[in-house]
Structure 1
Amino acid sequence: MHRIAATLSSAALLAGLAGCAGAPPAASAPSARYIVVRHAEKADDGTRDPELAPAGRERAQRLAARVREEPLRAVYVTAYRRTLQTGEPAAREHALTPIVYDAKRPAAEFAAQLRRERGDGATLVVGHSNTAPDIAAALCACAVEPMPETEYDRRMIVDIDAQGRASLRIERDR
């Protein structure tokens, strides 16, 4: 009995911290999901706009498989080949055409656009090591750890519930 009370107390505390009145945070389904990733591994060809390396092409295929069951309604990529090649397999899987966004646009402006235009279903956003964490942070209004130039495996998933509350979950592709 004491263990049940402690569990209920913990659940109530978590619910209160999450701003939910009486339901655990996982109880409300997201109305919008944003999956923000950095492009996959790029080829080291000395150009400013390299294609994906073989490892990057494999990672892009794994990403498409991971989002296969998502109600994906849009895929955003920058004008660089590596972001397009990262997002294309997922877009193809959902019969979508990738939408190009300006990589230099302030993250807060881009996130506000996404929340306005893509307020339901799931949206995949492929960015860069210096933009993806800022986009995720702007979407969730929370702190997101910077991304080193060597990191390619982080998926930042921002869920926004019907009341507009955002949560961030980090997944890794290893």
Structure 2
Amino acid sequence: MMKRLLLATALTLMAAGSAMAQTVVIVRHAEKADASSDPVLSELGQRRAMDLAVALSDSDLTHVFTSPLQRTVLTARPAAEAHAINPEAISFEGGTEAHILRIAERIRALPADAVVLVVGHSNTVPLIARALGETGSSEMAECEYDRLTVLSVEDDGDSPAVIGRYGAPANCEQNISG
């Protein structure tokens, strides 16, 4: 309950920060069932996806972007369904850098009042935040599934962020990396 309250407060503060700012929530996909190239979510990952939907239930979510891999789509699905949104999978064609640029371009093309969820990977979440103007995001550990970054994407290119956590604390000893 406290985490949900903190997230709601962060979303409210970010949205109130500027009339011309988009609110972007960036998370890594939830825990994977195995180490295959395109796994589904584990039971713990499915619970985390539901926790994300609960954390975002009071938001005015308008758009959801994922990578084309199952683990990101499955992580986003409960939140997207709760807001009657069809998630948009952004291709990896051209590599990781092209993927990140496409996500940033799609977000910047949205209305100023958009509230966006992006579900990425440990190697893309910090890069997506930086592409949107956030300067303080740190790299993600391979086992970090509970980080939630909320950005206020400003017209001037500066995007202040609030970093929080959601769901059960990530347990690096029990999770499969990647």
Report the TM-score range of the alignment, normalised by the length of the smaller protein. Answer: 0.7 to 0.9
Q: Which residue of 2 aligns with 1:36?
A: 26
Which one has a bigger Cα radius of gyration?
Answer: 1
**2:130 match: secondary structure:** helix
Change (3 A) 1:108 1:79: closer
1:36-74 Cα deviation digits (max 9, x unpaired)? 110000011x42110000000000000001111111111
Cα distance in 2 for residues equivalent to 1:73 and 1:26: 13
Whole-angstrom distance in 1 between the partners of 2:16 and 2:33:
43
- Whole-angstrom distance in 2 between the partners of 1:38 and 1:154: 7
Moved over 4 A (4+): 161-165
> In structure 1, the residue corresponding to 2:62 is in which secondary structure?
strand
Counterpart position of 1:102: 91
SS of residue in 1 equivalent to 2:109: helix
Q: TM-score, normalised by structure 2?
A: 0.75
Pair 1:150-2:140 in alignment? no
Structure 2 contact 17–152 (Cα < 8 Å) conserved: no
* Kept after mapping to 1: 8 A contact 2:132/2:157: no
Query: 1:140 touches 1:168 (CA, 8 Å); kept in 2?
Result: no
Partner of 2:4: none
Q: Which runs of 5+ in 1 are unaligned?
A: 1-24
Post-superposition shift, 1:77? Answer: 1.0
5+ long unaligned stretches in structure 2 = 1-13, 170-178
TM-score, length basis structure 1: 0.77
Q: Percent identical across equivalent pairs? A: 36
- CA deviation digits over 1:108-133, x for unaligned, max 9? 44313311225322100000001111
Deviation, structure 1 residue 106: 4.5
- 1:76 alignment partner in structure 2: 65
Please provide the CA RMSD for this pair.
2.2
SS state at 1:90 partner: helix
| Residue in 2 that maps onto 1:22 | none
Report the number of matched residues: 149
Q: Partner letter of residue 158 of structure 1?
A: L
The answer as to whether partners of 1:41 and 1:56 remain within 8 angstroms in 2 is yes
